[in-house]
Amino acid sequence: MYDIVLSLMNPEALASILVAVAVFGTALTVFMPYLQGNRLETRLKSVSMQREKLRKQSRAALESRKGLRRKDDSKIGEISSKLNLAKALEDPNLQDLLNKAGMRGPGPVSVFYFARMTMPFIGALLVFLYVFFVNDLGLSPMMKYGSLMFGAAAGFYAPNIYVSNLAAKRQKSLMRAFPDALDMLLICVEAGMSIELGFHKVSQEIGSASPELAEEFALTVAELSYLPERRQAYENLAKRTGHEGVKAVCMALGQAERYGTPLGDALRIMAKENREMRMAEAEKKAAALPAKLTVPMILFFLPVLFLVVLGPAYIKFQKMQKKSDSLPALTQDGTNDRRSDAGHLSEDGYPVEVRILA
């Protein structure tokens, strides 16, 4: 060991070591670019592969959905096409309403028109059975026929009311989770992900809280991959949700795509605004709560409160009344009036037997 240290301390050995290190560093510097390759090309290739993977997944998901078929092969679809109900009962706002309710494809359209055709007859039949057979309300013939017309009209508008309520509930579910989804989308974009990867990641994470919002984001990823203009995908997302907050976010994303503005700043501002909108909606509901509680308090709380407060006093009053009725009454001169059904009282207050003489 000592000999090795002495040999290394030799100036010639030190010079040889320094020359070897310099030659190795020079060779490494020269050949390192060839060993590393093109990082940009590798990154673009990985992004392209990931986009192609997302496209295949979206295509498989779309093909697996029965509601997205171009033609409805069910019995109801065949009946609707034969009777041409889509033209006879045409509604220009039907497709947008069904999209807001989460019903896509030709199947729900056929079912809606079929229900609109059959429900008036069902409603009139139910009213007829109730009025004429189940419960005779003593109505005049004119009122009975008017009831039949009312049942038919209610059956005609029942599908619209059902779909509208379903769309309203779905919109509430979307907007309950939308600010949190924007925060996650902002984190994904600032981490270096593209907008497609961000939507895909958020759709996977937000699925447990809001399956409807996860479905909308998955459809947006598919449209971003297929549509020639990415702006059209954002507009379709705004139409499917039908909420002002989502429309503002989609408009900001479209402007960022068109003018090249940073997506992070736009998403940060939109997330803040949507959180404020959600808080304002909660404050609005809290402010309306006292007015809504007025009728339940009058009907349910006040009678119980009066019973609890006045019940003991009434019971005590009844006991005092019974006790006063059981006490003997006093005459004008202060003596007790002890009359009984058996006889009368003498001057000294004792009962005298009354005998009936034959």
In the chain, where are the structural domains located? 2-37, 63-277
Of 170, 246, 178, the residue nearest 206 (C-alpha): 178
pLDDT tens, 124-166? 898 888 888 777 667 777 888 888 888 888 888 888 898 889 8
Compute the chain's Rg from CA coordinates. Answer: 43
The tokens for 161 are 């009311």
Contact 266, 256 (CB under 8 A): yes
Mean pLDDT computed over every residue of the chain:
76
Q: What pLDDT score was predicted for residue 329?
A: 54
Considering only the C-alpha atoms of the chain, give the largest distance between any 2 of them, rounded to a whole number of Å.
Answer: 169
CA gap 279, 287 in Å, rounded: 12
CA gap 105, 87 in Å, rounded: 17
Helices (H), the chain: 2-8, 11-36, 39-64, 75-83, 85-88, 94-100, 106-129, 141-190, 195-205, 211-226, 230-241, 244-259, 263-296, 302-326
CA gap 57, 95 in Å, rounded: 26
pLDDT tens, 180-202? 888 888 888 888 888 888 888 88
Q: Residue 240 pairs with which residues in a beta bridge?
A: none
Of 116, 146, 111, the residue nearest 131 (C-alpha): 146
Half-sphere exposure of 252 (CA within 13 A, CB side): 19
Judged against a pLDDT cut of 70, whether residue 123 lies above it is answered with: yes
Per-residue pLDDT band at 67 (split at 50, 70, 90): very low
The pTM for the full model equals: 0.58
Q: 138: phi > 0 → left, psi -120 to 50 → alpha, else beta; which?
A: left
Of 60, 75, 134, the residue nearest 107 (C-alpha): 75
The tokens for 351 are 């009962």
Write b or e for each residue in 339-356: b if 16 or more Cβ atoms lie within 10 A of its Cβ, otherwise e. eeeeeebeeeeeeeeeee
Return the H-helix or E-strand segment holding 345.
Answer: strand 343-345
Q: Which of 23-32, 49-58, 249-258, 343-352 has the lowest mean pLDDT?
A: 343-352
Per-residue pLDDT band at 44 (split at 50, 70, 90): low
